[in-house]
Amino acid sequence: MPWTKVYVDKSEFEKAAQLQKEGLRGLTFREALKEATSQMMEKDERVFVMGEGVDDPGGIFGSTLGLHKKFGKNRVMDLPIAENGMTGVAIGAAMAGMRPIFVHMRMDFLPMCMDQIVNHAAKWYYMTGGRTNVPLVIRSIIGKGWGSAAQHSQALQALFMHIPGLKVVMPSTPYDVKGLMVSSIEDGNPVMFIEHRWLYEQIGYVPEEIYTVPIGKGIVRRQGKDVTIVAVSNMVYEAMKAVQLLEPEGIDVEVIDPRTIKPLDEDIIIESIKKTGRLVIVDIGWKTCGVSAEIAAVASEKAFKYLRAPVKRVTLPDVPTPNSPVLEDAYYFDYKRIAGSVKEMFREK
């Protein structure tokens, strides 16, 4: 199906588009995100965008570009740099009937807002016995490379995955980023919407109309019978590239994109393990207490008897992000390391 397919590069999409005589509309990830925002703002006057720089010429890497011209600066609102206070403002507006989308250019700015996100947004519905909900979307962007270093590159999704009351969404395709943004806006809970900056140029099929992708449902990107790779965010693409290295070795890989890490679609992972008996988890964050740790625990608790080999985790090492390209190369990994880990798993057998 065109909406589940991951295109590893543009040429493949063009090929696919040619095949689909009915005419598939291709959009980049950033265009799909902007379209979702724009269409929801047209549909629902409670929806508005707030964030430092949302109306500037960069438009948050293009994802909000020009929206202020269409909707005015009250609905596409530039903010003072006061992350925690402005998160409180977003929460209050949400409680009082609005549907804010608060955008942070870097995920590294979210630790500034931990009080309002963790102590307030996440718990308010529970603390009020279900009488006041917080329909809030908090977008944040993970950076990578070019010496972004320790405070402009962090992938902190695991911090939020830990907190009851939050939902955490990490779309990887243009189709999903639109559908999940619509779902997040309509959800009625605080949703952490996490984007990897390297996804913005990805192209894929995106329908023009408003549609939803359910929060909490993963998807099988590629079916296989020998090993399951669960890959998060842009690692889905790396996993798909790793498949190409593993195929000639006779290793048939199943690739799962959870799309949402909280709530996590445990069933899709367990079902896959039942079939393949092997699990490799690929995250863009750190190893200790990370997304990969949680998924490995789920596999151990709920699918242990189907596992034929120890679970493998491909993650960042537990160190801050460095600057030097040499150190960056040692820090980050790509499809080759994923493929290497899978091969190792079969060798160890």
* Inter-residue contact 181 to 34 (CB < 8 Å): no
Name the amino acid, one letter, at 157: Q
**Nearest of 248, 300, 294 to residue 273 by alpha carbon:** 300
The catalytically annotated residue of 68, 104, 120, 152 is 152
For residue 143, the number of C-alpha atoms closer than 13 Å in the C-beta half-sphere is 21
Please identify, using beta-carbon distances, which residue of 128 and 324 lies nearer to other proteins: 128
Nearer to other proteins by Cβ, of 81 and 330: the residue is 81
CB of 61 to other proteins, least distance (A): 25
Shortest reach from residue 195's CB to other proteins, in Å: 22
The CB-of-136 to other proteins minimum distance in angstroms stands at: 10
Binding site for other proteins (CB under 8 A): 48, 74-75, 79-80, 82, 84-98, 115-116, 119-120, 124-135, 164-165, 167, 186-189
The token pair at 47 is 């929806």
**Residue 75 or residue 217: which is nearer to other proteins going by CB?**
75
Concerning whether 68 is annotated as a catalytic residue, the answer is no
Residue among 1 and 96 whose Cβ is closer to other proteins: 96
Q: Report the residue number, 39 or 84, with the smaller CB distance to other proteins.
A: 84
Q: How far is the CB of 126 from other proteins (least distance, A)?
A: 5
HEC profile for the chain? CCCCCCCCCHHHHHHHHHHCCCCCCEEEHHHHHHHHHHHHHHHCCCEEEECCCCCCCCCCCCCCCCHHHHHCCCCEECCCCCHHHHHHHHHHHHHCCCEEEEEECCHHHHHHHHHHHHHHHCCHHHHCCCCCCCCEEEEEEECCCCCCCCCCCCCCHHHHHCCCCCEEECCCCHHHHHHHHHHHHHHCCEEEEEEEHHHCCCEEECCCCCCCCCCCCCEEEECCCCEEEEECCCHHHHHHHHHHHHHHHCCCEEEEECCEEECECHHHHHHHHHHHCCEEEEEEEECCCCHHHHHHHHHHHHHHHHCCCCCEEEEECCCCCCCCHHHHHHHCCCHHHHHHHHHHHHHHC
Beta carbon nearer to other proteins, 93 or 231: 93
**Residue tagged 């890490």 (tokens):** 261
Nearer to other proteins by C-beta: 86 or 314? 86
What is the smallest separation between the CB atom of 134 and other proteins, expressed in angstroms? 8
Alpha carbon of 183 to those of 37, 160, 180: distances in Å?
A: 11, 18, 5
- In the complex, minimum distance from the CB of residue 38 to other proteins, in angstroms, rounded to a whole number: 18
Q: Which residue numbers are catalytic?
A: 152
